[in-house]
Amino acid sequence: MITEAKVNGVKARPTVEERFGVPMHGAANPSTGNEGTSPGSMALAADVGGPLMFSSPDTPGMPGVSGKTAWDFLPAGWEVETGSTAHQSCGKNKDHRSGDLCYQFTDSRGVTRRVTVSAGFVPITQLEHARLGIVTEQMKRVAQREGHVSAEQVRDEVAAGRLIIPANTVHLKYRLDPMCIGRASKTKINANMGASPVSSGTDEEVEKLRWAERWGADTVMDLSTGGDLDECREAILRASTVPIGTVPIYSMILGRTIEDLNRELILETLRHQAAQGVDYFTIHAGVVRAHLPYIKDRLIGIVSRGGSLLAKWMLVHDKENPMYEHFDEICDIMREYDVSFSLGDGLRPGGLADATDNAQLAELETIAELTERAWRRGCQVMVEGPGHVPFDQVEYNMKLERKLCHGAPFYVLGPLVTDIFPGYDHITSCIGATAAAYHGAAMLCYVTPKEHLGLPKRDDVKQGCIAYKIAAHSADIALGIPGTRDQDDALTKARAALNWEKHFELSFDPDTARALHDEDMDVDTDFCAMCGHDWCSVRISKEIQEFASGKADGFERGAPVRSAALTVEQRQILESRGVLSPEEIHALAAKSKHKVGAKSGVKAACHSDYVADDAEAKLVQGV
């Protein structure tokens, strides 16, 4: 909040809030030191430990919050008493009635709970530990990384089901650095990667993993559908410091047809990947037969790979989705290793014309039911969301999920807010992702410039990660998450002081910032090539004695100096700016055509028009 200012001892004009009725709702200023003159965040007051957490004000007509949490969906046989009536003499792990175990603790909001579980119960998942009041090492690490929440608050949010720590107990033995996903924490981003039947391999995917981590991916999904899936997954798990997610149905059908899918295959594959250390599984259990009639009027049907495969299975066998039918058994395997659910939205819209339709929302209702069932079996849950959504519908989608799924973290793909910019979908989706994160998403799945067009390469991964770091960070500032604007403020001060070294150092991508500056002027001056010396407003402001602006402590400009030569990487950044030349594009296209066996002047042989049956398609794709 702005305090009343005085100039030369004279009372200044009323604050902007007093004069203009700026709609402040009590959110903290995201700048630790209330730097500058902005009134700060216009979001709602933080409610960590409550259903709102960090939240945008609701536009009229939006769904409200749920009155329930994961505490309302406990495993059979568990009992919880809350409030001051809790049994004061009962200590943790002390034998209780009929040999039951009793855990009593007071949460960070002062609510005392006594939780009774059957004798011999041993907590495995972060959710189970949190429900018993236990602060795990992973919760402590998460609180340390977040900075604005305590380990006890992390525990309480995990217990409420509003926050997850995707940390498979096997992966924790390798290099995993625990992180969390939820609205009480900062917004996270995911990078997808994985070999396809026509491109990439294990070494290239591990290289992409390192690249994604370097550019800020908080989790990585291995979506491989080609090459040696097992070897690739194992290599990624052993190399990664971030949680790894998979869509196990891809492995289930490799070398088979979807019709072969059965209970044994599902459970065996899940157990294998869980034992390997995968931290979260996308499970498309929310697509059920009752939803399929809603698809026929869509412009683009089902665009989720898992959703389309399972829809085909249901139609061929005339049976219910096996992921839905065997959901409880799936939960039990995931609990054993603390693999978190990412409940997949198999019916997500594939274009603006199909957004927020019956199919999508009916599936969300089923996902809400599955969320409750997974909580009852001790599993951590996040929910996947769309996809392609017009800008005006983003808030509604976020708040409907918050209500139906009782605040379970929402993990959204984009969403793209327009469909006519293939090649730039990291931008079209980054706009939707920023709105989604402001209104309710907890994690954003990146989209790269290759979306809808091909398999992302290293630079596409970088472009996607950066676009989504921008979305996540912008939303966190808007929500008033404490301290999230501090680096922005520090950069603003360096920029005002024309301190180029500091300006580059504080940039998210220092190499690109320096390369673009030095491309025009590799001399450290008190202006840059954009406006030139005489027109540099920052330099002129700096000279105005009354302004505090630009007077950075400890920074004195010396004589102009020439910067060191650009590094190889910075030169490459400049060389690869803009678009590829027509010759380069042609060379790349020719390479792909050769790889998939296309003859000169005709479509690739793997094009569906040219494949007689499934067996030939598999042959062509080398699976």
Residue 578: phi and psi, rounded to 5, are: 70, -145
Q: Alpha-carbon distance 593 to 591, whole Å?
A: 5
> Which residue matches tokens 């079996």?
377
For residue 301, whether the previous peptide bond is cis, meaning omega lies within 30 degrees of 0, is no
Closer residue to ligand SF4, CB minimum distance, 335 or 517: 517
555 binds ligand SF4 (CB under 6 A): no
Give the residue from 368, 374, 349, 226 showing the smallest Cα distance to 298: 349
Q: Is the dihedral of CA 190, 196, 198, 199 positive or negative?
A: positive
Stretch that binds ligand SF4, among 17-25, 187-195, 502-510, 524-532 (CB under 6 A): 524-532
Stretch that binds ligand SF4, among 280-288, 509-517, 528-536, 583-591 (CB under 6 A): 528-536
DSSP per-residue codes, 191-226: EEE--BTTB--HHHHHHHHHHHHHTT-SEEEE---S
528 binds ligand SF4 (CB under 6 A): yes
Q: Alpha-carbon distance 296 to 304, whole Å?
A: 15
DSSP state of 264: H
Minimum CB–partner distance for residue 525 and ligand SF4 (Å)? 9
> Which residue matches tokens 């949460």?
107
Closer residue to ligand SF4, CB minimum distance, 42 or 538: 538
Stretch that binds ligand SF4, among 112-120, 338-346, 504-512, 525-533 (CB under 6 A): 525-533
Query: What is the maximum span of the chain, computed from C-alpha positions, in angstroms?
Result: 86
Minimum CB–partner distance for residue 506 and ligand SF4 (Å)? 15
Closer residue to ligand SF4, CB minimum distance, 516 or 604: 516
Minimum CB–partner distance for residue 488 and ligand SF4 (Å)? 16
Q: Alpha-carbon distance 331 to 334, whole Å?
A: 5
How many residues line the site for ligand SF4 (CB under 6 A)? 8
Stretch that binds ligand SF4, among 262-270, 295-303, 348-356, 531-539 (CB under 6 A): 531-539
Closer residue to ligand SF4, CB minimum distance, 45 or 538: 538
Report whether 335 contacts 124 (CB < 8 A). yes
- Note every long-range contact of 293-298, with CB atoms under 8 Å and residues 24 or more positions apart, other chains counting: 294/347, 294/357, 294/358, 294/359, 294/362, 295/347, 295/359, 298/349, 298/350, 298/353, 298/354, 298/357, 298/359
C-alpha distance across the termini of the chain, in Å? 61
Query: Applying CB under 6 A, which of residues 537, 545, 581, 608 lies at the interface with ligand SF4?
Result: 537
Stretch that binds ligand SF4, among 70-78, 162-170, 229-237, 533-541 (CB under 6 A): 533-541
Closer residue to ligand SF4, CB minimum distance, 15 or 507: 507
Stretch that binds ligand SF4, among 94-102, 266-274, 331-339, 522-530 (CB under 6 A): 522-530
DSSP state of 354: G
531 binds ligand SF4 (CB under 6 A): yes
Report whether 333 contacts 299 (CB < 8 A). no
Closer residue to ligand SF4, CB minimum distance, 537 or 581: 537
Q: What is the CA radius of gyration of the chain?
A: 27
544 binds ligand SF4 (CB under 6 A): no
497 binds ligand SF4 (CB under 6 A): no
Minimum CB–partner distance for residue 539 and ligand SF4 (Å)? 6
538 binds ligand SF4 (CB under 6 A): yes
Stretch that binds ligand SF4, among 319-327, 374-382, 426-434, 529-537 (CB under 6 A): 529-537
Minimum CB–partner distance for residue 590 and ligand SF4 (Å)? 42
Closer residue to ligand SF4, CB minimum distance, 312 or 539: 539
496 binds ligand SF4 (CB under 6 A): no
Closer residue to ligand SF4, CB minimum distance, 293 or 532: 532
Give the residue from 306, 274, 271 showing the smallest Cα distance to 287: 306
Report whether 96 contacts 110 (CB < 8 A). no
16 binds ligand SF4 (CB under 6 A): no
Closer residue to ligand SF4, CB minimum distance, 299 or 530: 530
Query: Applying CB under 6 A, which of residues 315, 316, 530, 615 lies at the interface with ligand SF4?
Result: 530
Burial of 290 (0-12, 13-18, 19+ CB in 10 A): exposed
Stretch that binds ligand SF4, among 10-18, 375-383, 530-538, 597-605 (CB under 6 A): 530-538
536 binds ligand SF4 (CB under 6 A): yes
Count CA atoms within 13 Å of residue 535 on its CB side. Answer: 5
With a CB cutoff of 8 Å and minimum separation 6, the contacts of 382 are 164, 181, 280, 340, 341, 342, 343, 408, 409, 410, 411, 442, 443
Minimum CB–partner distance for residue 158 and ligand SF4 (Å)? 46
Stretch that binds ligand SF4, among 54-62, 201-209, 267-275, 534-542 (CB under 6 A): 534-542
Report 261-300 residues binding ligand SF4 (CB under 6 A): none
Closer residue to ligand SF4, CB minimum distance, 525 or 592: 525
Structure tokens at 20: 């203009």
Minimum CB–partner distance for residue 527 and ligand SF4 (Å)? 4
Residues near ligand SF4 (CB under 6 A) are 527-528, 530-531, 536-539
